[in-house]
Chain A
Amino acid sequence: MSLLVARGLSKRFGGLHAVAGLDLAVAPGEMLGLIGPNGAGKTTVFNLLSGFLTADAGDVRFNGRSIVGLAPHAICRLGLARTFQIVRPFPRMTVLENVRVGALARHPRAPEALAQARDVVARVGLTARERVAASALTLAERKRLELARALATGPSLLLLDEVMAGLNPTEIETIIQLIRGIHESGVSILLIEHNMRAVMALSHRIVVLSFGERIAEGTPAEIASHPKVVEAYLGEEYVRAAQA
């Protein structure tokens, strides 16, 4: 059985069909990549899955239970956590305090939540910075904090929205190792990513989105050579020119 199943998921913004009848499934233990050109609707899909937007049509089941219409906090408590593409740390809280907010979802008592937060901060390698205000972190550290906070809520499925955007190659390598580690600890992952090298290296399976629709699905190798994918990214002329 799938961990997460979305069927016929649709969302319109005025005349724009941001997501149009999307089917998506994540198996337990899977690392699924979601790619597509800018404006393809990837972040909208995340917002629909995590309850920040309500779908116009379609159903989302998590662990066999429909989560359509649930508030984001309720979805988080069911074990589906997300990060934000534009990181949103609590700026005036320290790193540890930020992560503690997430940890309180599973450990209502403050001391236990703090201990849990310390573990997670150590996992993402921010222990040396745990008493620093989040507003003083570098972008790479903020991305790791974003990851740590979501992880602290104890998810079984983690939605990662471009956690590598804006990072340099060394920082990307670190975060790839981090994501691998999280996945190996038993967390399924749905990953939006523009860094192709990273998404190809990490994903078991990739779904390609263009104008709100799924245009391809397959293993990283299949996706890399799929004509529709090349077309979506580079334009029709490129495909014709390449074939000629």
Chain B
Amino acid sequence: MKWALAGALVALIALPAVLSSYALTLFILIFFYGFLGQAWNIVGGYAGQLSAGHAAFVGVGGYTAAVLSIELQLTPWIGMLVGGALAALLGAIIGYLGFRFGLRGFYFVLLTVAFAEICRVAVSNIDALGGPLGLYITFTGNPRQFQFQDGRAYYYIALALMLVATVTAWAIERRRFGVYLAAIREDEAAAEALGVNAFKYKMLAMVVSSFLTGLGGTFYAFYLFSLQPNTLFGIPLSVEIIIRPIVGGAGTLLGPILGSFILTPLAEISRLYLGQGGLHGAHLIAYGVLLIGVVLFLPEGAYPRLKRALARTSAER
């Protein structure tokens, strides 16, 4: 397993040399959504707290870095961290309200969606942030401005982000923090009886998750050169963030990445072919069908199934 992962990593590092520019873009999206899915996985998967408003953290992170760069000429490399910190602050507020007052299941989902929507409406109405039209970033191609002439730079940054989130999840998983999150997910009252401070660990998970997601906002903004409230804070982005780890296997280390490798190409291909035929949004139908299939046939996600299949073949050999 270790060697297979190391080999896959080397292959991904070498890959841009042979990729077409379209394939390069596809991989950037796979890594980026794999990163966002992994960040969500910490609170949504490991801790089992279904945040359906993670777009809020992308938005806060992206807008922070963009405004700091446009107004104060602060490099987005630093703005990224500031954006992550503000996203973590928002995550702490949402987490405090949800966890202190014991909102579980659907109620927590509604709380997180509501916060994302409040952010979206608020930003749409603040002229200094560009209102509903959003902000545009002038292309300079200056690496200091988080801009690159060569698309391969974005490839490596997205890959690095995905690795950072995955190493973070890995480190959590093998420590007490991760064991406690799993216990909270399985049965919170039983976990409390065994000395687990559920509130504290859920808060920590939320803060780490929203910080990482906030970092992603900067990448999103400076990769696309524009920020619109409906895109960055919208429910569709929240759905994109959640659906990959769920399809791949929520609460598993490689589930979000596997989910992104399955879903991102599917979304792009259906967008490309169905969208050209005038069928905008058809990829959402494909998502819906896939999600129904996952719920019916792979309720734990694809990764646990794949892992068992691999274990079986290696046992047979």
Contacts and interface: CB of A to CB of B under 8 A. Distances in A.
A238 interface: no
A101 B180 contact: yes
Interface in B194-224: 194-199
A213 to B, nearest CB: 26
A150 B197 CA distance: 16
Given A100-B179, A101-B180, A73 B190 contact: no
Interface range for A: 20 to 34
Contacts of A113: 176
Contact of A88 (B179, B190, B195, B199): B190
B296 interface: no
A7 interface: no
Contact of A150 (B187, B193, B196, B199): B193
A76 interface: yes
Contact of A105 (B187, B189, B194): B194
A150 B194 contact: yes
B198 A90 contact: no
A110 B195 contact: no
Given A108-B176, A110-B174, A110-B175, A153 B186 contact: no
Contacts of B169: none
Contacts, number: 78
Interface in A111-131: 113
B195 A77 contact: yes
B187 A102 contact: no
A200 B278 CA distance: 79
A91 B176 contact: no
A206 interface: no
A160 to B, nearest CB: 12
B183 interface: yes
A73 B126 CA distance: 44
Contact of A104 (B174, B179, B186): B179
A73 B187 contact: no
Contacts of A73: 191-198
Interface in B155-186: 174-176, 179-180, 182-183, 186
Contacts of B190: 84, 88-90, 149
A35 to B, nearest CB: 22
B249 to A, nearest CB: 12
B176 A110 contact: yes
A138 B183 CA distance: 21
Contacts of B187: 88-90
A33 interface: no
A101 B178 CA distance: 10
B194 A97 contact: no
7 contacts: A73-B192, A77-B195, A88-B187, A90-B182, A104-B179, A105-B194, A149-B190
Contacts of B196: 73, 101, 105
A12 interface: no
The 8 lowest CB-CB distance pairs between A and B, nearest first, are A105-B195, A90-B186, A88-B190, A76-B195, A72-B192, A102-B194, A101-B183, A73-B197
B79 to A, nearest CB: 36
A226 B316 CA distance: 67
A56 to B, nearest CB: 20
Most buried by B among A52, A72, A82, A89: A72
B200 to A, nearest CB: 9
Q: Which of B183, B190, B191, B194 has the most CB of A within 10 A?
A: B194
Contacts of A4: none
B194 A101 contact: yes
A71 B99 CA distance: 14
A114 B195 CA distance: 16
A193 to B, nearest CB: 19
A77 to B, nearest CB: 5
Contact of B189 (A88, A89, A92, A93): A88
A114 to B, nearest CB: 10
A166 B207 CA distance: 43
A92 B194 contact: no
Contacts of A109: 176
